Structure 1
Amino acid sequence: MAKTLKYRKNQRNNSRSSGQQDRVVNQFVDPRDFDKPRTNPVPKKLEARTEAQGQYLSAMMSADLIFGVGPAGTGKTYVAGAWAADQLADRLYDRIIITRPAVETGSPMGFLPGELEEKYAPFLEPFKQVMIERMGRGAYECALKNERISPQPLAYMRGATFKNAIVILDEAQNTTPEEMKMFLTRIGEDCIVIVNGDIQQIDIKGASGLVDALNRVSHLDQVRVVEFTEDDIVRSGLVKAILKAYRNP
């Protein structure tokens, strides 16, 4: 699998550094994939704003399972969503699967009207804007329609196998150890799994699946752990000050 990842890294770098003619061609999405042209210009190359973000991007190009752990506002979700959208737009993977535990600040998801996709959509808002920014609205909407971008509740993943996909588990600190084990054992061929979380914001009772997984698998080959700190916060200086205030009341 490492050989495949190296090939994909070269493919992605080549696609981002090609000449103007290639950029003009790449402004349009392959109709076999999304059926609609991009509705915005090809985005600029994704660049890290902090050292930790740079390590995170490097890990995505070299590992099969990546943990991004740290406080809110450090860009974990943004970087993962942007990188995944670029890979899908460049047709290096078939699908993006996005999931998160059905817990919101300590409460279960509960009843929401509509189909499963509509019920789960509010939990995927953090990824929507960055993916539209990277892919264009038309391509994003077609990818959703064709299930190339697929929001899936964590509880519905038992028995599934991830293949040729980028899978993002957000808010992973709110998984149980059993849920995390179930999720991680879905990994199949040509699959990149990105797990984001903040172990200081655990909203469930009992053990956290993220903490448990870090203790169990962080030493394995093809697993990378990138730790973000308050110094990596890029959302705003106020967020950094608020986090410090809550840490030291």
Structure 2
Amino acid sequence: MKVEQLEDITIDQQQAVFGAYDTLIAIVERALMVTIGLHNSVVEIKGESDKNVEMAADVLRSMLRLYETGDTVDEEVVHRLIDEASEGGLEEIFKAMGDVITLTHRSIPIKCKTLGQKNYIKSLRDNAVTICIGPAGTGKTYLAVAQAAQELKQGVVERIIMSRPAIEAGEERLGFLPGDLAQKVDPYLRPLYDALFEIFGAEKAEKMRERGEIEIAPLAYMRGRTLSRARIIIDESQNASLATLKMALTRLGEGSKMVLTGDVTQIDLPKVTESGLEKCASILSSIEGIGIMRLNNRDVVRNKLVKDIVKAFEKAEADKGPAPGKQQRPRKK
């Protein structure tokens, strides 16, 4: 039986680590098969596995460390700490969360939560163009909007332009939706509004739209324009052809930066082969000033269940292997 102790834990620290009705500590106990008790100001961890007890102690220390730096410690954070502890990446979380990207309209700091996200933000800051490919829940769009908001606040850019292809992911079609064209495309742009409203607040975001500081439009509306001193975000880029992405990229004007985000496992085009995002990343990968970022399931921060879903689909795809009659291309080293 392995035993570890964390001593001199204050009452506030105890509440942060154990959570309401011990919900947080119960997650650690179930995941790592340990028993955690509190005796006065000492937290005691017991278990049959030395490795699991040590991991549990590391997770608890990390929870305390986050609490001391003012970060939220909730169930999703605890699950992420356990996952990172099992993969030896706990220290990466603290490296990632060192900088504040911007503040929401409620003055809540927006920080990266994984090393992959931190590298993504660095690419957004350092490169004129960033192409970010990754699964759902990795913060591709939200972090791009957060970085754009900070650049607008600092006067680095004069406006934020957000766009995405108006491609359906279900049964609804543009022609059968009620209203004029603006009302028809609005549902497809709603995720962009959601990110803006969280960062700026709904009322301020609407006023910024009226003043032209924020523009949200379908990708097709970009043709023929030159976009200067703007941060341009092209969301759901996996649903655009290579020709359309070329059109978007060549809109870049003086003082502008652009990011293309997308999940190549969720292509809604009639033919998967019509998607241009991977082709675009391959063509532009060697150009200076263009960053290619690839996030994975370790960067999923939306919900633990989302992370598990992404892992399950990745495993299913890996088990399936290449399609019959086709040979898998060797990866470039």
Q: TM-score normalized by structure 1? A: 0.78
Partners of 1:235 and 1:203 lie apart in 2 by 22
Amino acid at match of 1:240: K
- Unaligned stretches of 5+ in structure 1? 1-12, 17-26, 28-37
Residue 227 of structure 1 is matched in structure 2 by: 294
Structure 1 counterpart of 2:238: 173
Write out aligned runs for 1:23-172 (5 A). 40-44=105-109, 46-105=110-169, 109-111=173-175, 112-172=177-237
Q: Given the alignment of the two structures, is residue 213 of structure 1 paired with residue 305 of structure 2, yes or no?
A: no
Deviation at 1:86, TM superposition (A): 2.3
The 8 Å contact of residues 174 and 208 in structure 1, kept in 2 or not, is answered as yes
Structure exhibiting the larger radius of gyration computed from Cα positions: 2
| Partner SS state of residue 111, structure 2 | coil
Residues 193 and 109 (structure 1), Cα distance of their counterparts in 2 relative to 1, 3 Å cut: farther
CA distance, structure 2, for counterparts of residue 69 and residue 108 of structure 1: 26
Q: Does 1:186 align with 2:264?
A: no
- Give the structure, 1 or 2, with the largest relative contact order (CA under 8 Å, sep 6 or more): 1
Q: How much does 1:178 deviate?
A: 1.1
Partner AA of 2:290 in structure 1: V
Cα distance in 2 for residues equivalent to 1:77 and 1:155:
19
The total of aligned residue pairs comes to: 214
User: Judging changes above 3 Å, is the alpha-carbon distance between structure 1 residues 107 and 89 closer, same or farther for their aligned structure 2 residues?
Assistant: farther
Superposed CA deviations along residues 166-224 of structure 1, whole A, max 9, x for unmatched, are 11011101111111111111111100101101112222213321111111111101000
Large movers: runs of 4+ above 6 Å: none
Is residue 189–residue 217 contact of structure 2 (8 Å, CA) maintained in 1? Answer: no
Preserved contact between residue 138 and residue 301 of structure 2 (Cα < 8 Å):
yes
Matched to 2:285, the amino acid is S
Ranges in structure 2 where 5+ consecutive residues have no aligned partner: 1-98, 317-333
In 1, distance between residues paired with 2:108 and 2:303? 23
Residues 69-92 of structure 1: CA distance to partner in whole angstroms, max 9, x if unpaired? Answer: 110011111101121122223333
Q: Residue 120 of structure 1: CA displacement? A: 2.5
The DSSP-based 3-state class of the residue aligned with 1:92 is: coil
Pick closer, same or farther for the CA change 1:171–1:107 going to 2, 3 Å. farther
Q: Contact 1:173/1:198 (CA < 8 Å) preserved in 2?
A: yes
Classify 1:108/1:220 alpha carbon distance in 2 versus 1 (closer, same or farther; 3 Å).
farther
C-alpha distance in structure 2 between counterparts of 1:115 and 1:88, whole Å: 31
Letter aligned with residue 127 of structure 2: A
Helix, strand or coil at the partner of 1:152: strand
Question: Normalized against structure 2, the TM-score is what?
Answer: 0.59
Listed one character per residue, the Cα deviations across residues 87-119 of structure 1 (whole Å, up to 9, x for unaligned) are 223333111111111212277852233344433
Verify the 8 A CA contact 1:121 1:151 in the aligned structure 2.
no
Residue identity in the other structure for 2:305: L
